[in-house]
A and B are shown apart, each in its own frame.
Chain A
Amino acid sequence: MIVIGALVAVCAGLVWRRDGIDGVLKILTHDLWLFGEIMPRVLAGCLLGGFIAEILPHDKVSRALGPNSGLKGLLIGTAFGAILPGGPFTAYPVAAALLTVGADFGATIAMVVSWTLIGYGRAVAWELPILGTDFTLWRIVISLPIPVLAGALGRFVFVWIYPKGEPEPPA
């Protein structure tokens, strides 16, 4: 977060030099509005994450999506990411909740990557009208194997880096 803060400060400085204080304030007010609009959805996402962490039985999740869940775990993660409704304000809190109830990095990577690549929400709302049906469908077909492959690669690299398991529980 410190790196991002520094990056933001530098960029705000550049905007100030280019557009003056008016430019800085214009972006600030626009983004404050956006922030106000997003907040209720973030709260909903956090509550979803909280409920999932409490309701889902840990032993079942770690069997279905844990380090030993094999290809099936990656496929479940992919399917879950593809059907998850809502936007980033649901996907990331839910993914974080899955990590805390026993999903491993591999299955969670499959879920996040599947949500961003083959999730229907963004494709239907934005990609179809802007890029056209032909392009969008082929793009999705080509993307289909990627979540499982990314999850498998993630699992493989994880075991390679941390052969004795994770050094500390995820925050």
Chain B
Amino acid sequence: MTLSALIIDITLWGSVAILGVMAWQRGRVVLVSSVREGSMDFINIVPRIALGVIGSGYIAAVIPPEVITGWLGPDSGWFGVLTAVIAGAATPGGPVVGFSIGAVALKVGGGSPQVIAYVVAWALFAFQRMILWEIPFMPARFVWFRAAVSVPFPFLAAAIAMAIGKP
């Protein structure tokens, strides 16, 4: 956990350093203006991230994971896929929570297509990631657009899983 955090930080700041050197090679003006641009973005984003981090903690506290697991029961068929998609979007917390719920659902007899739909929907729509990261950083219109055109794909993934009979 801490090791992976360390690796993330090293690759992250390493990339910043490499791109910084590349910008510096283009001249001081490029370096200064890109650093200024990045810092302005940072200052603008801090309050939104603050609302996202602190806010999503309260939203997550109101939605207990047991509720989500209930929606993912061994109910197969397209109704199961639909509830799985809604459950994926409504799952609070980070990847540990999302994937663990998927694992529990598989153990208690949830069908693979439903769990695939759940994991894909979680990746595409998990509300906490959207509130905390996507909405603060991206233009609002892009976020809604992206979410809207993504709606068919958890269902497509479930259909493919049913068709090929895997995993």
Contact = CB atoms under 8 A, between A and B. Distances in A.
Nearest to A8: B55
Contacts of A8: 51, 54-56, 58-59
A27 B138 contact: no
Which range contains the number of A residues in contact with the other chain?
35 or more
Interface string B1-35: 00010001101110110011011001000100111
B22 A55 contact: yes
Interface centre among A49, A51, A53, A109 (most CB of B within 10 A): A51
A150 B17 CA distance: 33
Contact of A143 (B9, B20, B120): B120
A170 B137 CA distance: 12
Given A11-B59, A150-B149, A96 B139 contact: yes
A10 to B, nearest CB: 8
B149 A154 contact: yes
A29 to B, nearest CB: 10
Nearest to A157: B149
A51 B166 contact: no
B142 interface: yes
B159 to A, nearest CB: 9
A96 B59 CA distance: 26
Contacts of B106: 131, 135
> Which label, helix, strand, loop or mixed, suits the secondary structure of the B interface?
helix
A113 interface: yes
Contacts of A38: 49, 53
A44 B153 CA distance: 32
A158 B145 contact: yes
Contacts of B148: 157
B150 interface: yes
B45 A53 contact: no
B124 interface: yes
Contacts of B100: 130
B140 to A, nearest CB: 8
B145 to A, nearest CB: 6
A55 B30 contact: yes
Interface of A: 1, 4-5, 7-8, 11-12, 14-15, 23-24, 27-28, 30-32, 34-35, 38-55, 85-93, 95-96, 99, 105, 108-109, 112-113, 116-117, 122, 125-127, 130-132, 134-135, 137-139, 142-143, 146, 149-150, 153-154, 157-158, 170-171
12 contacts: A38-B53, A47-B42, A51-B23, A53-B34, A96-B139, A116-B129, A127-B119, A137-B167, A142-B160, A143-B157, A146-B153, A154-B149
